[in-house]
Structure 1
């Protein structure tokens, strides 16, 4: 089973969804905002990808944190923040054949589905 995780209105998500559809790959889309986010899933993804890879420091939500919060970021508080504010998670995260992949590049997806 293939699942794409992210936020519906994200441009990168749209590109990934379009690519998967164009390749006739069946997938489920899990929207963090609409469908929610479970700590169990976040922990599994973090174990596979690492919290530093998952944390979106370029996004508005992260930039709105206080300087103290940004300077004292560690695994525990990053995980808590991502659970509270899913927009802080880099997108998309693809789950395919028991593996997680982060971001979208057509070449990477071609390799994953080869």
Structure 2
């Protein structure tokens, strides 16, 4: 099953939904602001997407700026980062696509879908 993790008000997430529909790919939608990702889920996504932990941050989000994470994140341990991300879906980069034991985060999602 294909899963899309996103935020309903996010234009990028809406565009990915449209791409999935155009390609007739059925998917389950998970709203990241209402159904938070656990530490274990975040670790699994990072591993399956093969990305640096900092790529999991929504660096353009208001919460990221409010918390001053641009400077703080480099001083945090991986565990602290996972814990923080698991408490606020708005801190997590989106969209996230889970398909066939792979994960795609942010810009990776569109690139992947364009290859199908």
**Over aligned residues, Cα RMSD in angstroms?**
2.0
Alpha-carbon separation, structure 2, partners of 1:91 and 1:66 = 19
Other structure's SS at 1:33 match: coil
Q: Secondary structure at the match of 2:93?
A: coil
Long gaps (5+) in structure 2:
none
Structure 1 unaligned segments of length 5 or more: list them: none
The count of aligned residue pairs is: 112
Deviations 1:36-64 (A, max 9, x none): 32222112112233311111222111101
Change in Cα spacing, 1:19 to 1:3, as seen in structure 2 (3 Å) is same
Residue 86 of structure 1 is aligned with which of 79, 89, 94? 89
More deviation, 85-94/68-77: 68-77
Matched with 1:56 is 58
**Is 1:45 the counterpart of 2:49 in the alignment?**
no
Report the CA distance shift for 1:58/1:85 in structure 2 as closer, same or farther (over 3 A): same
Residues in 1 aligned to 2:67 and 2:80: alpha-carbon distance in whole angstroms: 12
Q: Is the alpha carbon distance of 1:25 and 1:33 closer, same or farther for their aligned partners in structure 2, counting shifts above 3 Å? A: same
